[in-house]
Amino acid sequence: MHFMNPPPIMKLIEIVRGADTSDEVFVKIKALAERFGKTVICSQDYPGFIVNRILMPLINEAFFALYTGVATKEDIDTAMKLGTNHPMGPLELADFIGLDVCLSILKVLHGGLGDSKYSPCPLLVQYVDAGRLGKKRGIGVYTHQKKLAAKPSSSL
């Protein structure tokens, strides 16, 4: 079962069928996912399955557009939100996922499929190497406001 993040919010689960996945196991896993209230799709066991195999080249190309100066990060994200009706732009989404996670997935896709279209953009690599991991770190493509924990009140 490949859950989309964050699992409590996202409605999709990819069930990945390996070479030896029986119909009985598939039916049980599908029923479990549906009990969770999820929509189920099925993928064969290939690198990236369905979602990551399509999504990561989109995110990578957005990084290449930024890297080569095609447009600003804001214009790239606005173009995809308003031009293709995505709820968030690819660079914003990459920050949400984690730039380190995106880089790792691209490396798996590139290694597993051997196609240069999955070769990570140098800017993405630079950001990860610099510790710019996205929202979880407070900086990625964008700078994110970190929520401060409430300080306990003093009883003195």
DSSP lists the bridge partners of residue 44 as: 17
Catalytic residue, from 2, 86, 110, 144: name it. 2
SS3 state of residue 92: helix
d(CA 53, CA 55): 6
Question: b/e map of 32-67 (b: 16 or more CB within 10 Å)?
Answer: ebeeeebebeebeeebbbbebbebbbebbebbbbbe
* Residue 93 neighbours by CB distance under 10 Å: 20
Q: Closest Cα to residue 106, out of 62, 71, 42?
A: 62
Name the burial class of residue 127, with classes exposed (0-12), middle (13-18) and buried (19+) by CB atoms within 10 angstroms of its CB.
buried
> Catalytic site residue 2?
yes
Known catalytic residues are 2
